[in-house]
């Protein structure tokens, strides 16, 4: 991907009285990137998206769009378009009229306008439904119309405000794949706001994880998941076992810690890591712990006892109590080998890869 910045968020703050919805955030989004703003409700992700779209203004700081400062430029003059959470389909217009809404201002000739509307409806597989009334659409269809209505404007940046949250699970997963495909086909920069970690991981080139007005980490989905910078990110994106540890050695790039259950571990130091005394936290994902069956052994293993079991169809979550650990470990194992049949109370041995252990800032 060519590294040309499309959006630059430069020390942007949005305050409502004493409350800062967004606190001195800086961020660069590349051209043609599928970028997600991920975080719990109230973290400032929607505020940031609305400021990029021009529906809200920064209290301080500047947003640059394709090199141009956007301060004071209203939403109707920005090269951005938005897919609203509620889709905001005009109820008094049919599908084709909805899609053509923004084109009217461009005063295209009728043939060209029709061609662009049909092209946009084609892109979202709605070509045959142009005459359908806005009130006769299903949730998924409304979402597609909203998408076509924004894409037909050929924006530099497409803003998506939780576009899939109103759809049922099956349709949501299908739309995730379609949205990703569509973004790759049109090559427009997409910025997606979501609170659904799986959605962000599945679709994005990069993700910014946000908490209470701050950007905690910006990285690829894989890095966000495997190398979270702190406990909060690790906990929000997927499940994580936290292990108390003691720092025994530290240099510029790595730290070495001592734990009761996982022994001595040398691991990469996260960027924002600040040492506070000797205490540290290690994290390991539940699926990076593997059940050792029968007589199998591993170089790295720990032993414990199953205290609870949750069945999820393709996987089972085993809650394993390990002597010397405060919190029991959560283990996610596929059911291929019969993890769903391990009785509660049974002794168990688990294998792990020391590379899967990450040091986490608090």
| Closest by CA position to 236, among listed 197, 203, 271, 199 | 197
Q: Measured between alpha carbons, how far is residue 176 from residues 24, 192, 204 in Å?
A: 31, 11, 10
The answer to whether 147 and 182 are in contact (CB under 8 A) is: yes
Whose Cβ is closer to other proteins: residue 84's or residue 300's? 84
Q: Rule CB under 8 A: is residue 171 a binding residue for other proteins? A: no
Q: Rule CB under 8 A: is residue 74 a binding residue for other proteins? A: yes
Write out the two tokens for 244.
Answer: 């108390």
Write out the two tokens for 10.
Answer: 């430069």
- Strand 34-38 vs strand 206-211: parallel, antiparallel, or unpaired? parallel
Q: Rule CB under 8 A: is residue 132 a binding residue for other proteins? A: no
Strand partners, 305: 321, 347
Radius of gyration of the chain (CA): 24
Contact map string, positions 28 to 67, toward other proteins, x by CB under 8 A: -------------------------x-x------------
Interaxial angle between packed helices 139-151 and 110-123, expressed in degrees from 0 to 180 and rounded to the nearest 10:
130
Minimum separation from the CB atom of position 162 to other proteins (A) = 13
Whose Cβ is closer to other proteins: residue 134's or residue 348's? 134
Q: Rule CB under 8 A: is residue 131 a binding residue for other proteins? A: no
Q: Rule CB under 8 A: is residue 277 a binding residue for other proteins? A: no
Q: What whole-number distance in Å separates Cα of residue 246 and Cα of residue 258? A: 5
Which of 23, 66, 101, 242 forms a contact with other proteins (CB under 8 A)? 101
Q: Measured between alpha carbons, how far is residue 268 from residues 229, 233, 256 in Å?
A: 11, 17, 9
Q: What whole-number distance in Å separates Cα of residue 93 and Cα of residue 98? A: 6
Phi-psi region of 300 (alpha: psi -120 to 50; beta: other; left: phi over 0): beta
Q: Rule CB under 8 A: is residue 105 a binding residue for other proteins? A: yes
Minimum separation from the CB atom of position 163 to other proteins (A) = 13
Q: What whole-number distance in Å separates Cα of residue 237 and Cα of residue 167? A: 21
Q: Rule CB under 8 A: is residue 324 a binding residue for other proteins? A: no
Q: Rule CB under 8 A: is residue 91 a binding residue for other proteins? A: yes
Q: What whole-number distance in Å separates Cα of residue 347 and Cα of residue 349? A: 7
Q: Measured between alpha carbons, how far is residue 270 from residues 22, 54, 252, 267, 345 in Å?
A: 24, 35, 11, 9, 37
Which of 144, 149, 206, 288 forms a contact with other proteins (CB under 8 A)? 149
Which of 1, 3, 67, 92 forms a contact with other proteins (CB under 8 A)? 92
# of chain residues touching other proteins (CB under 8 A)? 23
Q: Rule CB under 8 A: is residue 108 a binding residue for other proteins? A: no
Q: Rule CB under 8 A: is residue 82 a binding residue for other proteins? A: yes
Candidates 96-104, 205-213, 245-253, 347-355; binding stretch for other proteins (CB under 8 A): 96-104
Minimum separation from the CB atom of position 153 to other proteins (A) = 7
Q: Rule CB under 8 A: is residue 80 a binding residue for other proteins? A: yes
Half-sphere exposure of 325 (CA within 13 A, CB side): 23
Candidates 82-90, 225-233, 304-312, 322-330; binding stretch for other proteins (CB under 8 A): 82-90
Q: Rule CB under 8 A: is residue 198 a binding residue for other proteins? A: no
Give the footprint of other proteins on this chain (CB under 8 A).
Answer: 53, 55, 74-77, 80-82, 84, 86, 88, 90-93, 97, 101-102, 105, 149-150, 153
């Amino acid at each position: 991907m060519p590294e040309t910045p499309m959006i630059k968020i430069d020390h942007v703050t949005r305050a409502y009285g004493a409350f800062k919805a967004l606190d001195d955030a800086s961020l660069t989004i590349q051209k043609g990137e599928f970028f997600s703003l991920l975080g719990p409700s109230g973290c400032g992700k929607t505020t940031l998206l609305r400021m990029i779209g021009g529906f809200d203004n920064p209290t301080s700081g500047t947003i640059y769009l394709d090199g141009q400062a956007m301060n004071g430029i209203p939403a109707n003059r920005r090269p951005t378009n938005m897919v609203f959470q509620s889709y905001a389909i005009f109820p008094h217009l049919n599908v084709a009229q909805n899609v053509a809404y923004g084109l009217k201002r461009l005063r295209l000739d009728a043939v060209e306008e029709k061609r662009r509307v049909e092209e946009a409806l084609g892109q979202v597989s709605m070509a045959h439904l142009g005459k359908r009334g806005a009130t006769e659409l299903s949730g998924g269809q409304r979402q597609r119309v909203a998408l076509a209505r924004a894409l037909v404007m050929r924006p530099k940046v497409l803003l998506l405000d939780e576009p899939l949250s109103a759809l049922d699970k099956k349709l949501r997963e299908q739309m995730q794949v379609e949205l990703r495909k569509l973004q790759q086909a049109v090559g427009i920069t997409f910025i997606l706001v979501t609170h659904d970690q799986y959605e962000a991981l599945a679709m994005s080139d990069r993700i910014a994880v946000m908490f209470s007005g701050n950007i905690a980490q910006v990285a690829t989905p894989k890095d966000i998941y495997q190398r979270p910078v702190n406990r909060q990110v690790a906990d929000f994106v997927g499940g994580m076992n936290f292990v108390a540890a003691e720092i025994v050695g530290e240099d510029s790039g790595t730290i070495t810690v001592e734990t009761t259950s996982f022994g001595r571990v040398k691991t990469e130091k996260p960027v924002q890591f600040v040492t506070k005394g000797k205490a540290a936290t290690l994290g390991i994902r539940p699926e990076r712990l593997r059940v050792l069956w029968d007589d199998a052994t591993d170089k790295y293993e720990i032993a414990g006892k199953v205290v609870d079991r949750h069945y999820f169809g393709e996987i089972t979550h085993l809650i394993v109590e390990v002597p010397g650990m405060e919190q029991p470990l959560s283990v996610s194992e596929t059911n291929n080998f019969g993890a769903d049949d391990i009785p509660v109370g049974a002794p168990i041995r688990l294998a792990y890869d020391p590379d899967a252990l990450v040091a986490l800032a608090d």
